[in-house]
Amino acid sequence: MVRYFAGCDIGSTTGKAVIIGENGIAGQSIVPREIDPEETARVALSEAMKTIDELKSYKDIAYLVGTGYGRSEIPFAHENISEISCHAMGAYYCDTSIKTIVDIGGQDVKGIALGDDGSVKEFVMNDKCAAGTGRFFEAMSRIFRMELQEFSELSLKAKRAIPVTAQCSVFAESEVISLLARKNPPEDIAAGVQGAVAKRCFVLLKRVGITPKVTITGGCAKNRGLVKELEKVLRVEIAPLSVDPQIIGALGAAVYARKRSSVAV
């Protein structure tokens, strides 16, 4: 029987699960966060298992690693590993030449420098403030009365970005409302918002070093407008990954699960 290894990334906004078998990723899922992290993990794993007939229960998984802010709340995980290590390993699994990651999740931003084997050489995290995180984009797109995807596409249409100076989510919100009220082109304001977050990432990444290849992981990696602004401020190309960037943490956890399992055996 094929042995399966799983990673479960319980983030602040979503739960992600990745199951790997003999031929790489066999199942994956992204589900909205439940109040109880354990429940989020169950739902995410159940979803990811749907494409694997051999797996009837998460108990059939040979080794499970939990990660993300709710990592220690998954009682059926064999161990938990920080999301910093998991994002590094997940990106390395996709592309062994990745040296720098910017991970923008629901409530934090991280800069990670990778060693030659996918280990973490150095990392920085933002503070407890939500500026520049997924929460920040949620608030911004709400002001524009748009879905995140729409907001991202809007920013790509900008002719001249209007700088948004405030880095605090609350102040940025009132600044953007004022700019909209003054009838500035929404696409230019949206591009300004992307630029403000990109600059924040620049500051973080400068502390770990911006060594190519650079990639972006986390839910906000799907924001094309942000990726474009990041490439501009970092002056490097952001390398796309072969899998959904939102599941990189869970993927890294699954890769660790396979490694740890062989050690445990």
Partner 1 sequence: MIGATMDLQKLLDEPLNQLVEDAIEKGMLPVGYACSMVPEVLLSIGKLFPVRLRAPNVAGTEMADVYLSSVICSLSRSLLEFALEGKYSFLKGFVFTASCDHLRRLNDNLRYCEKPEFIDILDIPHKITDEAVQWTIDELRRFAQQLKSHFGVDAGNENVMEAIRRRNILNTLLRRINDLRKSQNPPFSGTQYHRLIMATQVVPPDDAINLASEFLESVTRNAEHPRFRARVMLVGGNLDDPSYTEIIESQGALVVADRYCTGSFPALEPYALEGDPYEILARRVLTITRCPRMMEGFPVRLEYIMNLYREYAVDGIIIESIKFCDTWGVETSALVSRLRERGIPVLRLEREYHQSGEGQLRTRVQAFLESMGK
Q: Which residues contact partner 1 by CB under 8 A?
A: 69, 81-85, 108, 119-123, 125, 127-128
Q: By C-beta, is 29 or 85 nearer to partner 1?
A: 85
Helix (H) or strand (E) holding 217: strand 214-217
Q: By C-beta, is 125 or 166 nearer to partner 1?
A: 125
How far apart CA 163 and CA 258 sit, in angstroms, is: 46
Strand 24-32, strand 5-10: pairing: unpaired
Minimum separation from the CB atom of position 188 to partner 1 (A) = 32
Minimum separation from the CB atom of position 120 to partner 1 (A) = 4
Do residues 215 and 239 lie in contact, with contact meaning Cβ atoms separated by under 8 Å? Answer: yes
Q: By C-beta, is 46 or 107 nearer to partner 1?
A: 107
Q: By C-beta, is 149 or 262 nearer to partner 1?
A: 262
How far apart CA 159 and CA 92 sit, in angstroms, is: 36
Minimum separation from the CB atom of position 182 to partner 1 (A) = 30
The values of phi and psi at residue 238, to 5°, are -90, 115
Minimum separation from the CB atom of position 19 to partner 1 (A) = 22
The amino acid occupying position 100 is T
* Neighbouring residues of 59: CB distance < 8 A, sequence distance ≥ 6: 76
Minimum separation from the CB atom of position 79 to partner 1 (A) = 11
Q: By C-beta, is 85 or 246 nearer to partner 1?
A: 85
